[in-house]
Structure 1
């Protein structure tokens, strides 16, 4: 864990459309009116799954952070549960940005967005729609639904069709959604079934934590047509793309093609898999690179302590992919 003397963490809730999003607001100690970065996670993931690790490091460097969970997941509001709606999640990002701009403790004129995986794709879309933002970070981003569907495999994609049909019937009749696992073993019916997908999700669950491994099947066709990478050319502020060279979920070749179209884009590549970005040495390198970028563009005042490096080293301790992580409940 990071040195908690460097920041305070507050449990907060903000309104989004018809419901609420639960979040953590991190405020750096001894810093008046700091800039702020908004953090959103990936496919069906919640803020407890290592968003706190990144937010702690940003706060320790003098940058406030808001890490939130999308509606319909975790302890956020929204019915039905486990609904993975692109439109609603983008609305949650808009609501989160509006929320931090209204907080008197932070500088609403210096706001950045940070997204990972599916949230990394959202960060591109959101940045293209909010030219007033100071910066954006897109980590191992989902940039092209068609490319990700092809990575899943055509046979696996076809097997999802009858499940989607059943869930659409459930939607019409007002029944509970028909869920598809977010992560499964290779060959399994799931949103992601790469070899590192299931152990990757398991490694992100905190000790004693729980996670529902499933999302409503009805949104699968929309995922295949969601191509947030196309919005990169419309992102006018500096944006940092952190790309896995061996990404099994979001093919890096397509991501890099999109990233190069951003007028002020910066690209960092890493010899690590999609789920290795959250732990260990890769996390350490990512935080170093992202902090250099965010400090350069957000211009935070120095934090109260000079022990940020030691704090960062402590926070990288965690279970490696494939370790004794808890099993995801279905």
Structure 2
């Protein structure tokens, strides 16, 4: 499927984007088509796995605008390779404005789509807007402190302290006007990198596109320490789909379930790790099919008014009952969250 090249301004830089026009009439309405606005997770670029999601959604009838954050991929902006959480949320807001201006777009049916770190961004951004008609959060990282505790289970204390020290050096350098200290985004176990779990190097680099760089400002660890977008889920006024990898080693599944409960979400579970829902992996087809089903029910032509969100298990995986703060796991039939 071909896409159209677009750019839009976010603060002081141009963000680079791909527009995938929707096919068919399944989502067509009097005001135009819904537009899915999507971006990648930690250090990712739109040419690193997002295209397959965008193509599936566009084939189902949804317009899609996939973009790179400032400082990453084909987008402008400096410093390069620095994860600025507030700045990335601002990029999403600018992308929503750009999506609303696309030919044939329905400005009242914009959809926020985020994966991993971006799965948290879409909760925060969506909670403060009225032009967002639905939110999709795939294996979302919604609680930085919880992610730190999960990382501590898989890494030695010396490696955790080393990461903190390098991150502090980078922040001090930035305050002095010096270039940031950088580390690889992903490495093998025992190496210094943001992600070093067994198998993650192969999983991430298999997705890597031509604009992706295996480099990131080491200060990201300090940024994430206070990042808790899951709390914003309660402010969402639109349907929310949260897709949880039950054996996720980087984005805590329990925290995602709690955020889902706050947002009265429909929840889908997959018995896999973080990268197993990506193109070419076992759970990609199921994950994208659930996204299309969710969006069809809420935004498809002739769709009924949204009812109570529901929770689903996948292939016998645990299901959360949606009780805020105290998720329960079982394999019962789907139940409503409230």
Q: TM-score scaled to structure 1, two decimals? A: 0.84
Mapped to 1, the partners of 2:76 and 2:212 lie a distance apart of 16
Which residue is 1:200 aligned to? 203
Which residue is 1:24 aligned to? 18
Q: Residue 225 of structure 2: SS of its match in structure 1?
A: helix
Which residue is 2:271 aligned to? 271
- The answer as to whether partners of 1:245 and 1:269 remain within 8 angstroms in 2 is yes
1:110-151 per-residue CA deviation (whole Å, 9 max, x = no partner) reads 111110000111111111112331100000000110111122
CA gap of 1:210–1:101, structure 2 versus 1, over 3 A, is: closer
Mapped to 1, the partners of 2:175 and 2:41 lie a distance apart of 27
- The answer as to whether partners of 1:64 and 1:106 remain within 8 angstroms in 2 is yes
Instruction: Check if 1:103 corresponds to 2:102.
Output: yes
- The answer as to whether partners of 1:241 and 1:266 remain within 8 angstroms in 2 is yes
Runs of at least 4 residues of structure 1 off by over 3 A?
A: 29-32
Which residue is 1:188 aligned to? 191
Instruction: Check if 1:113 corresponds to 2:105.
Output: no
Runs of 5+ in structure 2 lacking a partner? 303-338
Mapped to 2, the partners of 1:191 and 1:59 lie a distance apart of 33
- Which is bigger in relative contact order (C-alpha 8 A, separation at least 6)? 1
1:259-314 per-residue CA deviation (whole Å, 9 max, x = no partner) reads 11213x1000001210111123311001111000011122259xxxxxxxxxxxxx
Q: Residue 267 of structure 2: SS of its match in structure 1?
A: strand
Instruction: Check if 1:165 corresponds to 2:168.
Output: yes
CA gap of 1:219–1:64, structure 2 versus 1, over 3 A, is: same
1:22-49 per-residue CA deviation (whole Å, 9 max, x = no partner) reads 0100112455621111011100000011
- The answer as to whether partners of 1:152 and 1:192 remain within 8 angstroms in 2 is no
**How many residues matched?**
293
Which residue is 1:11 aligned to? 5
Mapped to 2, the partners of 1:86 and 1:28 lie a distance apart of 30
Which residue is 2:74 aligned to? 75
Alignment of 1:242-321 (within 5 A): 242-263=243-264, 265-279=265-279, 280-300=281-301
- The answer as to whether partners of 1:41 and 1:118 remain within 8 angstroms in 2 is yes
CA gap of 1:299–1:180, structure 2 versus 1, over 3 A, is: same
Mapped to 2, the partners of 1:91 and 1:234 lie a distance apart of 18
Mapped to 2, the partners of 1:57 and 1:299 lie a distance apart of 15
CA gap of 1:257–1:169, structure 2 versus 1, over 3 A, is: closer
- The answer as to whether partners of 1:181 and 1:191 remain within 8 angstroms in 2 is yes
Where is the helix percentage greater, Structure 1 or Structure 2? Answer: 1
Runs of 5+ in structure 1 lacking a partner? 302-330
Instruction: Check if 1:212 corresponds to 2:206.
Output: no
Mapped to 2, the partners of 1:130 and 1:196 lie a distance apart of 38
Mapped to 1, the partners of 2:151 and 2:186 lie a distance apart of 11
Alignment of 1:2-151 (within 5 A): 4=1, 8-29=2-23, 33-151=32-150
CA offset at residue 60 of structure 1?
0.6
Mapped to 1, the partners of 2:164 and 2:233 lie a distance apart of 30
Which residue is 2:177 aligned to? 174
- The answer as to whether partners of 1:51 and 1:67 remain within 8 angstroms in 2 is yes
Mapped to 2, the partners of 1:85 and 1:210 lie a distance apart of 19
- The answer as to whether partners of 2:18 and 2:66 remain within 8 angstroms in 1 is yes
1:200-236 per-residue CA deviation (whole Å, 9 max, x = no partner) reads 1111124xx3521121123421211101111112212
Q: Residue 160 of structure 1: SS of its match in structure 2?
A: helix
